[in-house]
Structure 1
Amino acid sequence: MAKATKKQALGRGLSALLNDPENDIKSVSDKNADKVIGNVVELDINSIEVNPFQPRSNFNDETLEELASSIRELGIIQPITVRKLDFNKFQLVSGERRFRASKLVGLETIPAYIRIANDQESLEMALVENIQRQDLDPIEIALSYQRLIDEIQITQEKLSDRVGKKRSTITNYLRLLKLDPIIQTGMRDGFISMGHGRALINIDKKKEQIAIYEKVVSNGLSVRATEQLVKARKEPQSNGSDKKKSTSDVPEFVSNSLDSIKERLATKVDITTSKNGKGKIVIPFHSEEDFKRIKKLLTGE
C-alpha cells in the first residue's frame, strides 16, 4: 500500500509540471518533457476526451459496472494512456473501459501515461493496442485492420509484422467484412462465431447468405453443419451436370424435394429409387455431434 501511495504522490507532483502555462510541454524537446512524457501522471479526469480512433464501439454495461466496483475497492491498477493535445487537454489512446468505469465511480483524477503523438500515430497506437486485446469481437478486429490499411496506407505484409499476426490470419478477418451487415451484427452480438462467418463468406449472394444465417441461428447449427449447408447450397450451382444426372434417375416427386431436404438437414443427402417407385434416403453424419443434430431435426428430441 505504501508503494502505491508513493507512486500516486509522484504522479501528482508531475501533474504540477503540466499545470504551468508558461512552460507548457508541447514536444519531447521542451523543458521538463523527459520528466512527464512516458511517465505516469495523475490527471484531472475532466481534462481527457475520448479517442475518435477507438476501434471498440460496444461497451457492455454490466462488465463496466463490475470494473467500476473493482476500481472503487482497489483503485486503478493499470494506468490509461493519453496523448497531449494542448495545455491541460488530453486524448485517450487506450484504456477507455477504465476511463468510463472511473467516471462511473466518480473519480476526479486518473493515472495516465503521457504520450506526444500526431493523429496518425495516435490512430496507429490505438488500433494496434486494441487488436492485441482478447475481448474484441471478430468484426471489431477486422475493422481495425481495415482502418490501419486505409488510413495509414500500410500493406497486409507490413501490417502482419506490425501486429505480430500471420498474413493469412489478417486476410481471414478482412474477408468477414464481405458478409452482409446483418450477419456482421449477428457475429458482434455473439449469435454466430467467426467460423460460421468464414463458411458463409463462400456464398456470393447476400440474400442467400442471410437465408443460411437465419437457419444457422434458428437451429443452433455448429460450424461444421454450417459448412455442410453452404456446400449443399453451392453444389447445384457449381455442378449442374451432376444434378441433372442424379435427378433424371429418380421420380419427379423426389427430385423436386431434394434441395429442400438438403437445406433442412444441412448436409448432403443421397436418394436411390427403383423402377417400381420404391427407394431409400441415405443421410451421412460426420461426428456424434452431427448425428445428434440430425436426430433432433428429424425427431424433435
Structure 2
Amino acid sequence: MEHEGSSQVRKVLGRGLVQLIGEQNDASTKEIPVDAIEPNPDQPRKEFDEQSLQDLAQSIRTVGLLQPIVVKQVGHDRFQIIAGERRWRAAKLAGVARVPVVVRTGSATDSLALALVENLQREDLHPLEAAEAYAALMERFGLTQEEVAERVGRSRSAIANALRLLKLSEEIREGLASGKISEGHARALLGFQTEAEMIAAYRRILAKGLSVRDVERMVREGVLDRKPEKPRPAPTPLEQAASERLGVPVRIVNRNGKGKLEIPFYSEEDLDRVLSVLGIRLND
C-alpha cells in the first residue's frame, strides 16, 4: 500500500507537470518513425538499467507502447525527446518502426524542466542527477531556486538541499553515484566544516561501514577535530625511582642539561607528604 506522504509528493509533482505540458488527455497523439527521434542532451537521467529496458521492450512487443513520448520538433521531420527517453530506447530494442508521440512547443527551460519532472515522478532519478539538473536550470536559464521549485513542483527548501550535494568533493560524489554511500551519508557529511574533514569521514565510512547516525554523531562530537593523543613514553629508571619514593607519578624533562621536574599532587595530604619526603617543612 502506498504511503500517504509518497502519494502527496506525486500530487505536487503532478501539478508541476500539468503546468508545463497541459493535460495529457487533451493533447493529440500521432505516430512518427522511431528513427526520426533523437535524445535530449539535457536529459537529467544519465544511466538506464539494461535489464529494465529489456523488460520494457518485451512489454512493448506484446502490447505496444501505451504511453506516448513527448517530443519537440527540431528540424524537418526531426524530433527531440522532452520526456520518455526510456520508452524510446526500449521501443528501439523492441524493433518498433513507429511510436506514438505528443509534439509540444515551448522554451528550452520548459523542456528541461519537463524531463526532470517526469523522472522525479518515476522516483528513479539519482539525487546527484536531480541536483545537476536543478543547477542547469539555474545557470543556463537564470532561474532562482524559487523559480526552479515552481517549475518542477517542489519546495524551495527541497531544491536548496539537493543543490548542497554538489558541494561534495568529486571523490564523495563518485561514491554516492556508485552506491558506496547513501544519500543520507552524503547529507550527513555536509555537516563537516571543511572538505578535508568530509573526505576523511567518507573514507572512514568505507573502511568501517559506518551508519548515517554514526556520521551524524561524528559531526556533533567533532571527532575529526580532535588531535590524537600521543602515547606517553614509559618512565625512565630515574622517574620510576622518584615516583616510588614520593608515591606519585614523577616526570622528568631533561634537554641538554636543562629541564623540569614535575611532581603532581592530588590533595593537601599528598602535598604535605611529598614535602615531608623532600625534607621541606612549612612554618605553622
> What range is the shorter-chain TM-score in?
0.5 to 0.7
Distance 1:147 1:128 in 2: 14
Question: What is the Cα deviation at residue 54 of structure 1?
Answer: 0.5
User: Is the CA contact 1:55–1:140 (under 8 Å) kept in the aligned structure 2?
Assistant: yes
- The 4+ residue runs of structure 1 with deviation greater than 6 A are none
Aligned partner of 1:175 among 164, 177, 190: 164
1:134-161 Cα offsets, whole Å, 9 max, x none, are 0011101111111111122221122222
Aligned partner of 2:126 among 122, 137, 147: 137
Question: What is the Cα deviation at residue 235 of structure 1?
Answer: 6.5
- For normalisation by structure 2, the TM-score amounts to 0.66
Equivalent position amino acid for 1:231 in 2: R
Q: Provide the alpha-carbon RMSD of the alignment.
A: 2.7
Other structure's SS at 2:231 match: helix
1:87-166 mapped onto 2 (5 Å cutoff)? 87-166=76-155
User: Is the CA contact 2:218–2:224 (under 8 Å) kept in the aligned structure 1?
Assistant: no
Change (3 A) 1:218 1:76: farther
Greater relative contact order: 1 or 2 (C-alpha under 8 angstroms, separation 6 or more)? 2
1:1-301 mapped onto 2 (5 Å cutoff)? 38-233=27-222, 236=225, 253=231
Equivalent position amino acid for 1:155 in 2: T
Equivalent position amino acid for 1:253 in 2: P
Distance 1:86 1:231 in 2: 56
Distance 1:216 1:110 in 2: 47
Equivalent residue pairs, number: 211
Question: What is the Cα deviation at residue 200 of structure 1?
Answer: 0.8
Q: Specify every segment of 5 or more residues in structure 2 that has no aligned partner in the other structure, as ranges.
A: 1-25, 233-247, 250-284
Distance 1:44 1:51 in 2: 17
Change (3 A) 1:234 1:169: farther
Higher Cα Rg: structure 1 or 2? 2
1:153-206 Cα offsets, whole Å, 9 max, x none, are 221122222222222111111000000112112212222222111111122433
Q: Between the two proteins, what is the percent identity of the paired residues? A: 42
Q: Specify every segment of 5 or more residues in structure 1 that has no aligned partner in the other structure, as ranges.
A: 1-36, 238-242, 255-274, 277-301
Change (3 A) 1:230 1:93: same
